[in-house]
Amino acid sequence: MISLIVARSKNNVIGKNGNIPWKIKGEQRQFRELTTGNVVIMGRKSYEEIGRPLPNRMNIVVSTTTEYQGDNLVSAKSLEDALLLAKGQDVYIAGGYGLFKEALSLVDKMYITEVELIVEDGDTFFPEFDVAEFDVMIGETFGEEVKYTRTYYTRKK
Ligand SMILES: NC(=O)c1ccc[n+]([C@@H]2O[C@H](COP(=O)([O-])OP(=O)(O)OC[C@H]3O[C@@H](n4cnc5c(N)ncnc54)[C@H](OP(=O)(O)O)[C@@H]3O)[C@@H](O)[C@H]2O)c1
């Protein structure tokens, strides 16, 4: 199963100055729960931002310029190669923009967390996609100062 997991603001921002432009208690819990024990595929810049392999899951970093090799860490030159490396396992594509854009036609499921913020001057956005290709389920809303809502997109058969 190929899934995509992202959190985006109301104005579709996912990144600003190399970081995720919010820090909301609990928002990343779903990411941790879903990806642990599975495979995470991410772009080089997202990996560099984290700075180390995420524990207890296979990390595949997509990069044409840098090779990574370590405990639970490997690199691939393209999304296609990354998916081949992960064949037969549950894969979560974790951004950024280029990987999301390429993955949109391949994913079975998307976990999109809608963060109730307008982010000014964002520089990385979630790509446009055709909602009609998916069944959409709106999940729970959490958060105190900033609310966030889990949403689930499952590709129509
Ligand atoms: N809100 C969220 O859920 C979320 C999730 C992830 C990231 N982010 C944010 O997004 C920003 C980073 O995203 P980004 O789009 O700028 O960078 P990115 O996708 O993390 O990294 C871009 C790099 O990854 C490699 N890459 C990406 N797609 C590729 C492909 N299809 N084939 C080969 N290589 C590929 C290239 O590396 P080389 O140059 O080495 O070839 C490219 O320069 C940060 O601000 C981060 O915090 C947010």
Q: Give the tens place of pLDDT for each residue, 55-98.
A: 999 999 999 999 999 999 999 999 999 999 999 999 999 999 99
pLDDT for residue 66: 97
Domain that holds residue 145: 2-155
Q: Is 51 in the pocket of ligand 1 (CB under 6 A)?
A: no
Q: For 152, how many CA atoms within 13 A lie in the half-sphere containing its CB?
A: 8
User: Domain with 20 in it: what CATH number?
Assistant: 3.40.430.10
59 vs 41: CA distance, rounded Å: 6
pLDDT for residue 72: 96
109 vs 112: CA distance, rounded Å: 10
Q: How confident is the model at residue 102 (pLDDT cuts 50, 70, 90)?
A: very high
3-class secondary structure, 116: coil
Burial category of 11 from C-beta neighbours within 10 Å (exposed 0-12, middle 13-18, buried 19 and up): exposed
Query: How far is CA 109 from its chain centroid?
Result: 11
Atom of ligand 1 nearest to the CA of 14: 1
pLDDT for residue 77: 98
Q: Whose CA is nearest to atom 44 of ligand 1?
A: 18
Predicted structure pTM score: 0.97
Q: Whose CA is nearest to atom 24 of ligand 1?
A: 43
Mean of pLDDT values over 27-35: 97
* Domain total of the chain: 1
pLDDT for residue 113: 98
